[in-house]
Amino acid sequence: MTAPSDKALVPFVSVDLMMQLVHRVGLTEMIAAIAAAIEEDFRRWDAFDKTPRVAAHSPVGVIELMPTADDAHYAFKYVNGHPGNTRGGLQTVTAFGLLADMTTGYPLLLSEMTLLTALRTAAMSAVAARHLAPKGATTMAMIGNGAQAEFQSVAMQGLCGITHVRLYDTDPKATEKCARNLAGTGLTVTACTTAEDALEGAQIVTTCTADKRNATILTDNMVGAGLHINAIGGDCPGKTELAEAVLHRSDIFVEYPPQTRVEGEIQQLAPDHPVTELWQVIAGTAQGRRSADQITLFDSVGFAIEDFSALRVVRDKAVETGLHIPLDLLADPDDPRDLYGMLSRAAPAS
């Protein structure tokens, strides 16, 4: 059997290699690199092809394809969300993604994105908080203590200066897990028995629950003046986390309105309810936080440009460190027009 040529090989980052890569680079440093790439790409927002993700819904979950491209690169992510999976020992969210060359169409990277999605979601939340949260914020309430909670906490610590995290989940075991994992990070961690308790003294609150339903994690009376909210759990039609009254009191910032109005908290509001696109704040063409008593809400559903940013960081880091596998993914016949001949010559000897 002839060994595949270099043209046939695509760098592949497996889960094991992604974990090695994160430890080689450093968790906070990896999140910071993704955050920097997101800000860089958001500043050139108009350079990207943009479309709401393509979703296939079922009564138990959703499977989504998230594509985007600029002049040089194309990227997509496959991702699911199935809250009932944990009962069978499976992840709620799994993902993989690809970065490709727009000039040739050839893939440049194939990567796991279950871990990477957690990293980029945490990076995106930290980017939003840096632009929207009160100055000098030190305490975050983390409502929903599943697979994303530790990443959110570490990102807020490393990129926003948070020193104290107050945890709450309807499942006390999830809170115990999160507190255990955050021990030794330097964060002061408080386990709370109610969502109201978790908000005590917090300047930032992050909601990240998994159930695919319209829920009320934050009621109107829980949200005081000056709070910044990262609402990241709502990500499909029929799934929300905030009482509608909270939205009417907040200045709302979103990623991509055509997607967020269908999937985010603002699906509860009129289609013309005013929102500000976060890329405009990052680019300096719109204002973020204006006053100390303003309530700011980042209604985040996740958008493909964030995954594009994360994939290009991983490609650079994987090539730099050598932490990737050459995957024989592409056919490479001697004559590009003779794919059939390549297949024929590969027939086993009779």
* 159 Ramachandran zone, left/alpha/beta (phi>0; psi -120 to 50): alpha
> Residue 173 carries which side chain, given as an amino acid letter?
K
Hey, is 81 helix, strand or coil? strand
Task: Please name the helix (run of DSSP H) or strand (run of DSSP E) that holds residue 241, with its range, or none.
Answer: strand 240-242
DSSP lists the bridge partners of residue 206 as: 142, 230
DSSP lists the bridge partners of residue 64 as: 55, 79
Tokens of 257: 């309105």
CA separation for the pair 177, 167 (Å, rounded):
11
> Residue 96 carries which side chain, given as an amino acid letter?
F
Candidate list 41, 169, 235, 299, residue with the active-site label: 235
Tokens of 47: 């350079």
DSSP lists the bridge partners of residue 276 as: 253
Beta pairing class for 139-143 and 73-81: unpaired
Beta pairing class for 228-231 and 251-254: unpaired
Hey, is 279 helix, strand or coil? helix
The number of residues in the chain equals: 350
Examine the residue annotation and report whether 235 is marked as an active-site residue of this protein. yes
Burial class (CB in 10 A: 0-12, 13-18, 19+), 202: buried
DSSP lists the bridge partners of residue 167 as: 142, 191
Rounded-to-10 torsion of CA 176, 205, 60, 301 = -140
Angle of helix 114-132 relative to helix 149-160, nearest 10 degrees, comes to 40
Tokens of 15: 């889960």
Angle of helix 304-321 relative to helix 15-25, nearest 10 degrees, comes to 80
Contact present, 68 and 50 (Cβ < 8 Å): yes
Residues recognised as catalytic: 235
